[in-house]
């Protein structure tokens, strides 16, 4: 599993400027997300966990600043370089207009990365989809703006492929598995057909004979005249020229609808042919959340941030979506950052869990470490308030999270902590108790 | 208990004032509005203080009827028939403001009456009123006012009646939607459950709650109605030629626009500034009654 | 619900509206008994016994001795068959239907030009004002649209006349054309051009480019005035709704999936922000028509509005009543078309 970090967050600070004061949402977060893992991020509301997700995406409002810290991708790109410490001030007051321009510049800079290498699923599926655009379009454009090549490749491969080729490939698929297909496609110059075959082959809702027939039918699916012209234009790089680009874009979007159908059926949505032509208001909440997940997965990203993806859903739908996310782990090689206030949800899907409190990470460890041998008093308190079969009374969490405008010095949990001592007010370090179990608490200072 | 209620009301009032006065443009709007009101009141009760003998008629000066440019003697210049513009505008403000106020308030009262009853009663009464107001919205209001006013005879009274007829449907729709949302609130349910009569609920509970937003709407509409009022007289609705009214004053200057632009500019400015002022003031008042703004 | 079902329902609602509209005009005519009705249908040139004879004929035709509600149906029949009576104004004297065929084209041309200007300018201005919130451009757009919104439309016209006509002398501001240019043309008589009655188009048909250009210059000021008056409101609505839309989750998602900012603004946000503007189109059309009355009067442009105010000045019943009815009909039918178009843009409205 863990083969090195895909995202490394170092000493990240994010502040929000409002009329009532400066909210210090993140105050030095250190966190690493490794390839292929699911990292659960837990915390009460106001702990800064959602802000962390948005900061990674660069989706900050115009009153946000990043005074210091870094978010470094696997290849070394620093995502916050463009705005770190650059906030425009005029006598202690943030110049909102100029800061907005700064953030807009960051947006431009991150456009190629978002949706391609990192993508995000939001909490509220009812409002996350654009009400006036078709579902298929909303998925298709995600591919279009990042990987138009892929769409061209797919369409041309289908144009070229013969029934003979497809029959051969089915044989290979049965005997040698997926790897053989890549080789065959490469040799026959059919690059782009393989993902279409896999999409059919990996479906679970139909039996094998039907799958074979569908794969062979791919050869029948030829392009129309306008699409052929459009693709030719797109191949010649005419996507930037007005009017002509329309034709090209339309052809690509049409191919994108096919991608959308494949993605949606892999996420267990029935009747994808009609679903892609629907508008969001025609779908239920659970279906919409699947569409949003499909959008997040469209370009096979390295990282998917899931910001409370199940909180707004019914319990039964919640279970389905969690099941879906568990399956996705096996199918994709993306790393997931799963943000939730609900530790019991995180327990079901995560490899590791990070506990946040008042803009800081309190404890990070593998799931079993967090649940079986929690170290931080705050983690223990959170575990105490989870309802279980054995407990007959529910203990409410005592105290409240500190005001983010005036965070207490040292350990932010000290005011609520039953073991607090005077030195806590000065303590601000992370202690690796074991190699992968890190805690930020004075109690473990000497136990190293 | 009584005292605490009082304290709470005073606190609410204080908050309203703070919100309103923190909006500088709204305060400017209020000041301009007050200046117009004071001018109108003085013109009504003590015209001689402003050097006017008859506030209802323009003082023609036949010795020099050609418009003269602004001078120490005539600060804003004169317009056709030798009328001093400053004095004429000050007279006109009384007429325009008074009549627009009359039109908007009567329209609002009629509209609120029907709006509350129709939303509260619902059913066929509501349906019929909806269709009737639909028809009123089916004709451009200026054209409708022209038609109705013309049929009643081209006098200032019929013009006012015509504008009230045009204006009440707007308030019917507005109070109707307000009432529909108030009706859903629990205190109405509670009043109903404790056996308060429908009439009493409408008068004591619904009407006072529709009042603040309706008052804001009235302040915003004052400018619009004054503009329409002036427009009607500008295009010559009233056949008489001696009414101190801003639209009429503008039309007097129009024939001299090439040589005496001030004769159209100043009366025009008087309307524009007023309309701007009530709009700014109305925006400020809207903030005051907006619960989202109050809580922040 | 299917689109055609929605359209059918929308057309059915039209029937009571049309009945109400005609009923209202009928009531207005009858506010003072039968005088106005008679005035509208009595040929103004008749005198003596001939007049008396026609009065009797009219009493018979409109069943003026029957109860009022029966009179309505006879009047309605008259309107539907296209007999709208007579008009007698300084600019035209004759049957109302002819007057409409002469004046309506001019109103349409001004309204069309104004709509084009509104369409071309208000959307980019409103969108860029919201996108560049608090910038100098935003402040300029806001202040000017606020002022224009507050001004009565005839004052906008006067301001433009003083600025462009009197001060800079760049544009003509009275009438449809320079009279010297058209004094000897055989297709232009008594201020009426043939065959379409739209001077600009007729001049192009006859290949007279000088007149066409002059006619075009004369159209600019009225249509710009009309556009400015109406645009102000649209820009305000659009700016507010754009600001609201830009805060929505789906915009955040569009950004999160790496859609270029230009597409986010121009497709994802703008299409949604235009919905409230589209719902207020009815008011826009009403403003366009009401504004035309005033503007044609200020610029002496011979359209329906100019005819209406001329009729007002000489107490011509036919002109006033027919234009009230005509404006109502235009408004009702354009709102119908706009509603159907709206249902095409927004998939949610049909359900």
A217-256: pLDDT as tens digits:
888 888 888 888 888 888 877 667 777 778 888 889 999 9
Q: How confident is the model at residue A263 (pLDDT cuts 50, 70, 90)?
A: very high
pLDDT at A201: 86
For residue A114, pLDDT over 60 is answered with: yes
| Cβ within 8 Å of C, A 105-164 | 107-108, 110-116, 119-120, 122, 124, 127-133, 141-142, 145-146
Q: Which CATH architecture has domain B46-280?
A: Orthogonal Bundle (1.10)
When CB atoms are compared, the residue of B147, B231, B265 closest to C28 is B147
Alpha-carbon gap, residue C306 to C308, rounded angstroms: 5
Longest pairwise C-alpha distance within chain C: 85
| Stretch (H or E) spanning A21 | strand A21-34
Alpha-carbon gap, residue B173 to B115, rounded angstroms: 6
Burial-class residue C150 by CB neighbours within 10 Å (0-12, 13-18, 19+).
Answer: buried
Q: How confident is the model at residue C123 (pLDDT cuts 50, 70, 90)?
A: very high
Give the residue carrying structure tokens 């010559």: B236
Distances (CA, A) of B48 to A442, B43, B79, B87, C207: 86, 8, 22, 11, 65
A70-74, C24-28, C43-47, C227-231: least confident range? C43-47
Alpha-carbon gap, residue C222 to C218, rounded angstroms: 8
Ordered structural domains, chain C, with CATH = 20-94 (no CATH), 103-314 (1.10.3720)
A61-75, A133-147, B122-136, B168-182: least confident range? B122-136
Count of C-beta atoms within a 10 Å radius of residue A119: 29
Alpha-carbon gap, residue C98 to C81, rounded angstroms: 14
Cβ contact C155–B250 (<8 Å): yes
DSSP A424: G
Cβ contact A108–C249 (<8 Å): no
| Stretch (H or E) spanning C308 | helix C304-313
ipTM of this predicted structure: 0.89
Asked if A345 contacts A322 with a C-beta cutoff of 8 angstroms, the reply is yes
Alpha helices (H) in chain B, listed in sequence order = 2-22, 24-45, 85-121, 123-137, 141-152, 156-183, 186-193, 198-200, 207-234, 246-254, 262-289, 291-295
| Stretch (H or E) spanning A8 | strand A5-18
For residue B60, pLDDT over 80 is answered with: no
For residue B2, pLDDT over 60 is answered with: no
Cβ contact C259–A113 (<8 Å): no
Cβ contact B231–C327 (<8 Å): no
pLDDT at C90: 85
pLDDT at A391: 63
DSSP A281: G
Closest by Cα among A78, A306, B143 to C330: B143
Closest by Cα among C280, C290, C295 to C328: C290
Across B217-222, average pLDDT: 88
Mutate to test the interface with C, among B67, B92, B129, B140 (most CBs of C within 10 A): B140
Alpha-carbon gap, residue B270 to B79, rounded angstroms: 15
Cβ contact C17–B271 (<8 Å): no
Cβ burial A26-39 (10 Å sphere, 16+ → b, else e): bbbbbbbbbbbbbb
Percent of chain B with pLDDT over 70: 96
Alpha-carbon gap, residue A312 to B265, rounded angstroms: 60
A385-390 long-range Cβ contacts below 8 angstroms, 24+ apart: A386/A343, A386/A344
Residues in chain B within 8 Å Cβ distance of C313 = 236
């Amino acid at each position: 599993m863990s083969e090195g970090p895909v995202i490394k967050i170092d000493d990240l600070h994010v502040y929000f400027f409002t009329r009532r004061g400066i909210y210090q949402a993140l105050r030095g977060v250190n966190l690493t997300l490794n390839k292929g893992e699911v990292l659960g991020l837990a915390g009460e509301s106001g702990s800064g966990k959602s802000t962390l997700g948005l900061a990674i995406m660069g989706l900050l409002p115009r009153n946000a600043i990043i005074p210091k810290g870094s978010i470094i991708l696997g290849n070394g790109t620093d995502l916050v370089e463009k705005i770190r410490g650059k906030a425009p001030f005029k006598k202690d007051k943030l110049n909102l207009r100029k800061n907005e321009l700064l953030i807009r510049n960051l947006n431009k800079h991150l456009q190629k990365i978002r949706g391609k290498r990192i993508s995000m699923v939001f909490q509220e599926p009812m409002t996350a989809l654009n009400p006036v655009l078709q579902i298929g379009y909303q998925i298709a454009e995600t591919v279009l703006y990042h990987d138009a090549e892929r769409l061209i490749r797919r369409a041309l491969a289908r144009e070229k492929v013969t029934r003979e080729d497809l029959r051969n490939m089915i044989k290979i698929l049965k005997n040698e598995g997926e790897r053989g297909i890549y080789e065959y496609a490469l040799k026959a110059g059919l690059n782009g057909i393989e993902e279409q075959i896999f999409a059919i082959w990996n479906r679970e809702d139909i039996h094998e004979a039907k799958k074979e027939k569908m794969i062979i039918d791919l050869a029948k699916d030829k392009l129309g005249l306008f699409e052929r012209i459009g693709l030719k234009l797109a191949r010649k790089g005419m996507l930037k020229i007005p009017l002509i680009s329309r034709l090209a874009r339309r052809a690509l979007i049409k191919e994108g609808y096919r991608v959308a159908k494949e993605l949606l059926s892999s996420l267990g949505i029935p009747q994808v042919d009609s679903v892609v032509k629907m508008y969001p208001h025609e779908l239920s909440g659970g279906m919409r959340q699947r569409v949003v997940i499909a959008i997040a997965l469209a370009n096979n990203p390295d990282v998917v941030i899931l910001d409370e993806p199940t909180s707004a859903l019914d319990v039964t739908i919640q279970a389905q979506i969690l099941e879906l996310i568990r399956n996705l782990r096996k199918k994709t090689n993306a790393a997931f950052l799963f943000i939730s206030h609900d530790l019991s949800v995180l327990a079901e899907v995560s490899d590791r869990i990070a506990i946040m409190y008042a803009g800081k990470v309190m404890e990070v460890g593998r799931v079993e470490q967090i649940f079986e041998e929690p170290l931080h008093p705050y983690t223990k308190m959170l575990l105490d308030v989870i309802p279980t079969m054995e407990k007959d009374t529910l203990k409410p969490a005592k105290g409240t999270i500190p005001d983010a405008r005036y965070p207490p010095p040292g350990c932010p949990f000290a005011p609520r902590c039953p073991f607090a001592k005077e030195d806590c007010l000065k303590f601000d370090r992370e202690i690796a108790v074991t190699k992968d179990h890190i805690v930020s608490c004075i109690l473990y200072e000497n136990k190293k | 208990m009584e005292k605490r209620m009082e304290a709470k009301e005073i606190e609410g009032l204080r908050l309203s004032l703070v919100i309103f006065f923190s909006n500088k443009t709204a305060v400017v709007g209020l000041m301009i509005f007050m200046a117009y009101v004071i001018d109108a009141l003085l013109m009504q009760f003590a015209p001689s203080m402003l050097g006017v003998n008859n506030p209802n008629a323009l003082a023609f000066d036949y010795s020099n009827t050609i418009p003269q440019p602004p001078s120490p003697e005539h600060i804003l210049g004169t317009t056709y028939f030798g009328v001093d513009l400053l004095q004429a505008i000050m007279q006109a403000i009384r007429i325009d403001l008074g009549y627009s106020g009359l039109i908007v308030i009567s329209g609002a009262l009629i509209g609120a009456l029907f709006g509350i009853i129709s939303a509260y009663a619902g059913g066929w009464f509501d349906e019929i009123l909806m269709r009737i107001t639909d028809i009123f919205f089916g004709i451009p209001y200026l054209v409708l006012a022209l038609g109705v006013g013309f049929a009643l005879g081209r006098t200032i009274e019929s013009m006012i009646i015509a504008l009230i007829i045009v204006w009440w449907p707007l308030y019917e729709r507005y109070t109707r939607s307000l009432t529909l949302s108030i009706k859903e609130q629990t205190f109405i349910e509670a009043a109903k459950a404790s056996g308060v009569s429908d009439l009493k609920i409408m008068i004591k509970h619904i009407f006072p709650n529709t009042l603040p937003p309706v008052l804001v709407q009235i302040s915003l509409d004052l400018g619009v109605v004054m503009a329409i009022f002036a427009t009607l007289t500008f295009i010559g609705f009233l056949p008489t030629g001696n009414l101190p009214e801003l639209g009429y004053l503008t039309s007097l200057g129009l024939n001299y626009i090439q040589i005496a632009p001030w004769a159209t500019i100043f009366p025009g400015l008087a309307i524009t500034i007023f309309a701007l002022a009530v709009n700014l003031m109305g925006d400020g008042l809207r903030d005051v009654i907006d619960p989202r703004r109050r809580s922040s | 619900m299917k689109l055609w079902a929605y359209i059918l329902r929308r057309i059915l609602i039209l029937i009571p509206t049309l009945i109400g509209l005609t009923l209202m005009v009928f009531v207005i005519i009858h506010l003072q008994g039968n005088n106005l009705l008679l005035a509208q249908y009595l040929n103004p040139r008749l005198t003596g016994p001939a007049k008396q004879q026609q009065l009797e004929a009219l009493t018979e035709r409109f069943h003026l001795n029957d109860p009022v509600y029966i009179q309505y149906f006879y009047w309605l029949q008259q309107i539907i068959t296209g007999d709208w009576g007579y008009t007698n104004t300084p600019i035209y004297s004759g049957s109302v239907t002819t007057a409409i065929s002469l004046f309506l084209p001019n109103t349409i041309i001004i309204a069309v030009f104004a709509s084009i200007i509104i369409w071309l300018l208000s959307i980019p201005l409103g969108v860029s004002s919201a996108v560049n919130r608090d910038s100098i451009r935003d402040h300029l757009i806001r202040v000017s649209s606020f002022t224009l919104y507050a001004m009565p439309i005839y004052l906008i016209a006067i301001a433009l006349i003083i600025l462009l006509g009197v001060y800079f002398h760049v544009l003509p501001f009275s009438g449809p054309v320079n009279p010297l240019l058209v004094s000897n043309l055989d297709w232009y008589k008594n201020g009426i051009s043939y065959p379409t009655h739209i001077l600009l188009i007729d001049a192009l048909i006859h290949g007279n480019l000088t007149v066409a250009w002059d006619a075009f210059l004369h159209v600019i000021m009225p249509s710009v005035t009309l556009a400015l008056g109406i645009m102000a409101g649209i820009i305000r609505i659009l700016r507010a709704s754009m600001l609201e839309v830009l805060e929505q989750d789906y915009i955040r998602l569009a950004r999160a999936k790496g859609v270029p900012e230009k597409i986010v603004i121009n497709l994802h946000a703008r299409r949604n922000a235009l919905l409230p503007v589209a719902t207020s189109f009815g008011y826009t059309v009403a403003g366009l028509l009401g504004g035309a009355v005033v503007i044609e009067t200020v610029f002496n442009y011979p359209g329906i509005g100019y005819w209406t105010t001329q009729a007002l000045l000489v107490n011509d019943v036919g002109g006033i009543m027919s234009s009230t009815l005509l404006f109502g009909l235009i408004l009702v039918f354009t709102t119908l078309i706009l509603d159907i178009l709206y249902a095409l843009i927004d998939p949610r409205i049909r359900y």
